[in-house]
Amino acid sequence: MKAFIFDLDGVLVFTDKYHYQGWKMIADKLGIPFDEKVNNRLRGVSRMESLEIILENYDKELTQEEKEKLAEEKNDFYRGLLGNMTPSDVADEVRSTLAELKKRGHKLAIGSSSKNTKFILEKTDLTDVFDAISDGTNIEKSKPDPEVFLKAAEFLSEEPSNCIVVEDAFSGVDAAKAGGMVAVGIGDASGYEKTDFPIKSFKELLDIEA
Ligand code: G6P
Ligand code: MG
């Protein structure tokens, strides 16, 4: 029986728009151009790496301390927005598919770079659905490094080759493949050539035979 490891943002919930608002607030403050195109590059990337991407368009050098202050400011604003999330932010299709996979005996885990993972799972009432949570708080390297997924497999006591990763980001698919796992791609990642199983809707997970 294969285990499933789910990315969070862009797969189970859609917090992209909140990340966008948070980073836009910082970019506006510094007078840096920021749009959806830059925001798309932040998918699956850690908070500090996201800031570095935004600062590519900034002509001044910032100290590490200044960067950490900006990242903290963004996160405080972002967490304020996350605070308004409710269980209704998880689609019925997502909830029922997860329940069916569990019923069939699959182990389920989270593999997300976000340090806010546990907060988001609590707000959306998803915490109890998962057998293990691997997130930004237990990793050194973010995707495309496989660490977050390898940790999830370890927490589940599963071999990586027995794990199916569900991802929306190219960097996440790369991480899954680097970890020796099967990669299912949804959203953006469904069009990525390294994806083993592209899917258009979440419930298609019930038809995957890997
Ligand atoms: C996920 C999102 C990224 C975000 C990262 C860190 O991977 O897709 O856009 O930068 O988490 O999130 P955090 O909540 O720790 O700032
Ligand atoms: Mg994602």
Reported as a single tens digit per residue, the pLDDT across 83-125 is 999 999 999 999 999 999 999 999 999 999 999 999 999 999 9
Q: Which residue's CA lies nearest to atom 16 of ligand 1? A: 47
Rounded Cα distance, 145 and 148, in Å: 8
State the distance from the centre of ligand 2 to the C-alpha of 60, rounded, in angstroms: 30
What single DSSP character describes residue 9? B
What is the H or E stretch that residue 71 is in? helix 64-82
State the distance from the centre of ligand 2 to the C-alpha of 172, rounded, in angstroms: 7
Q: List residues bridging with 184 in a β-sheet.
A: 166, 197
Ligand 1 pocket at CB < 6 A: 9, 19, 42-47, 50, 75, 112-116, 136
Q: Collect all residues with Cβ–Cβ distance below 8 Å to 102 and sequence separation of at least 6.
A: 108, 129
Token pair listed for 98? 């997860």
What b/e string do you get for 153-164 counting C-beta neighbours within 10 Å, with b at 16 or more?
bebbebebebbb
Query: Is there a catalytic annotation at residue 9?
Result: yes
Rounded Cα distance, 202 and 27, in Å: 33
Residue 209: is its pLDDT beyond 80?
A: no
Q: Which residue's CA lies nearest to atom 6 of ligand 1? A: 114
Confidence category of residue 40, pLDDT binned at 50, 70, 90: confident
Catalytic residue among 9, 131, 174, 188: 9
State the distance from the centre of ligand 1 to the C-alpha of 189, rounded, in angstroms: 17
Model pLDDT for residues 53-84, shown as the tens digit of each residue? 999 999 999 999 999 999 999 999 999 999 99
State the distance from the centre of ligand 2 to the C-alpha of 189, rounded, in angstroms: 9
Q: Which residue's CA lies nearest to atom 13 of ligand 1? A: 114
